[in-house]
């Protein structure tokens, strides 16, 4: 398998309902994952861009999505935001500023 040009990590950490720190799984990460997988399939991106489910990335209470090699972290990503991340960032090379975490967080 060739080295991917970019790699998308989606936090799937689950601390259960009501945990004070929250967790991405309790905030809808599985729907975000499914939407990325759908977009990758539709655009045939599977061989070019990696897609990996991870444990906690740090900020919590997301869903949070991390894209490398840029090291761009998106926060509070909704299923409806995924197409913009794919089109604008993964395909077009420009991060989606409205979804990036503030510098003091990441």
Q: Please give the residue ranges that form the binding site for ligand FES (CB under 6 A).
A: 11, 13, 23-24, 56-60, 62, 64
Of 45 and 57, nearer to ligand FES (C-beta) is: 57
* Residue 13 CB, nearest approach to ligand FES (Å): 4
- Dist CA 30 CA 53 (whole Å): 9
* Residue 61 CB, nearest approach to ligand FES (Å): 7
- The dihedral over CA atoms of 14, 8, 75, 41, expressed in degrees to the nearest 10, equals -90
- The DSSP result for 12-72, as a single string, is -----TT-TT--TGGGTHHHHHHHHHHHHHHHT-TTTEEEEEES--SS-SS--EEEETTTE
Of 45 and 73, nearer to ligand FES (C-beta) is: 73
Of 16 and 69, nearer to ligand FES (C-beta) is: 16
* Residue 57 CB, nearest approach to ligand FES (Å): 4
* Residue 104 CB, nearest approach to ligand FES (Å): 16
């Amino acid at each position: 398998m060739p080295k991917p040009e970019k790699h998308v990590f989606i936090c799937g950490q689950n601390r259960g309902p009501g945990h004070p720190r929250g967790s991405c799984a309790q905030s809808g990460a599985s729907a975000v994952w499914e939407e990325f997988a759908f977009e990758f399939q539709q655009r045939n991106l599977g061989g070019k861009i990696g897609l990996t489910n991870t444990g906690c990335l740090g900020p919590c209470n997301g869903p949070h999505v991390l894209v490398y090699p840029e090291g761009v972290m998106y926060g509070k990503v909704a299923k409806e935001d995924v197409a913009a991340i794919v089109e604008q960032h993964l395909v077009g090379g420009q991060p989606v500023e409205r979804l990036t975490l503030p510098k003091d967080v990441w």
